[in-house]
């Protein structure tokens, strides 16, 4: 039977996948620096694993003013986060999910992909 809860620190995966799931839960009102700190920890673990590629479920509902949450990420934060991920220099597939403030969704996505592509391209030169 699958656990229907997700995102808790103690969830480590199940059966043969035990130990392959890591969660970095954050408080609902975590600031952008706390978010980047958790992202940095996750990226460090990814580097240790040395994957051939990366799949990211990319949500923009962490944006300031998004109607679904209490996060405060700005365009600048999304660009920094994208850059951090781009520095992994991995083939990456993004699946966009979340982001409901339509006035800023495209701007936040543009900022994220700008940061990602600039960092990724710098690593491939």
| CA 23 – CA 6 distance, rounded (Å) | 9
What is the CB-side half-sphere exposure of residue 4 using CA atoms within 13 A? 0
pLDDT for 15: 93
For 106, the enclosing helix (H) or strand (E) is: helix 102-124
Q: pLDDT in tens for each of the 125 residues of the chain? A: 445 556 888 998 889 989 888 899 998 889 999 999 999 999 999 999 999 999 999 999 999 999 998 899 999 999 999 999 999 999 999 999 999 999 999 999 999 999 999 999 997 77
What pTM was computed for the model?
0.90
pLDDT for 119: 97
Angle subtended at Cα 46 by Cα 27 and Cα 10, rounded to the nearest 5 degrees: 45
Tally DSSP H helices, then E strands, for the chain: 3, 2
Strand partners, 94: 56
pLDDT for 69: 84
Query: Are the beta carbons of 123 and 91 closer than 8 angstroms?
Result: no
């Amino acid at each position: 039977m699958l656990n229907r809860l997700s995102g808790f620190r103690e969830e480590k995966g199940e059966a043969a996948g035990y130990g392959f799931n890591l969660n970095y839960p954050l408080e609902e009102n975590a600031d952008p620096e706390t978010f980047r700190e958790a992202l940095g920890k996750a990226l460090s673990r990814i580097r240790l694993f040395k994957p051939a590629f990366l799949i990211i479920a990319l949500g923009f509902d962490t944006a300031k003013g998004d109607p679904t949450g209490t996060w405060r990420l700005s365009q600048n934060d999304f660009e920094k986060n994208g850059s951090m991920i781009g520095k992994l220099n991995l083939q990456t597939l993004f699946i966009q999910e979340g982001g409901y403030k339509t006035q800023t969704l495209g701007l936040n996505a543009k900022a994220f992909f700008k940061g990602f592509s600039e960092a990724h391209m710098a690593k491939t030169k």
